[in-house]
Amino acid sequence: MKDTIPKTQSELETAIQKFIEVLNTWRPGTVNAMMPTGYENCSLEKRTLTVSCDTLAWMSNPVEQMHGGIISAALDSAMGILVYVLSGGKFPPTVSLQISYVRPIPLGKRIMITSRAESVGRTVATVSAVVWMEDCPEKHLVTATGIYSTAGKTLAELWRK
């Protein structure tokens, strides 16, 4: 994977799709592989990314809705993908993640997560996100804000160990 900051819409789309493919297939049994992320769209101008995720039975809480911890993981992954690409391929450890669970998420549905990079600096990035049902974009189910470190190493550097 080339470690550069995308300068065109096409470069952004390609970088995001390649990174999502890596996350979905790299290590079977990991959270990312068990909860595959689908690419929907992105905008370099708006610095946004929309991904999808199917809510599966294993993601259930005791009342057969999507478990809050799984929602958190999906949000963290979606926001992290955007930071990874906009920071030039640096692995973005989560510094802080604030989540508001507005409405329950049913199982057996497809959720959409739209992330927006509020700022991406040399050391820190701030991202906001909303979760919504595929057929109801105006009704936000969950909102989040994440702060990510952008000062670290690239995945290529980390995987060389």
Q: What are the tens digits of pLDDT across the range 29-45?
A: 889 899 999 999 999 99
* pTM score: 0.93
Show Cβ contacts of residue 128 under 8 Å, excluding neighbours closer than 6 positions.
115, 116, 118, 143, 144, 145, 146
Instruction: Count CB atoms within 10 A of the CB of residue 147.
Output: 18
For 160, counting Cβ atoms within 10 Å of its Cβ (0-12 exposed, 13-18 middle, 19+ buried), the class is exposed
Right CATH for 9-159 from 3.40.50.720, 3.10.129.10, 3.30.465.10, 3.40.605.10: 3.10.129.10
Going from N- to C-terminal start, the domains of the chain cover 9-159
Give whole-number Cα distances, 124 to 46, 74, 117, 139, in Å: 19, 20, 11, 30
Cα–Cα distance between 11 and 105 in angstroms, integer? 33
Q: What confidence tens digit (pLDDT) does each residue in 59-95 have? A: 999 999 999 999 999 999 999 999 999 999 999 999 9
pLDDT in tens, 111-150: 999 999 999 999 999 999 999 999 999 999 999 999 999 9
| Cα–Cα distance measured from residue 161 to residue 149, given in angstroms and rounded to the nearest whole number | 20
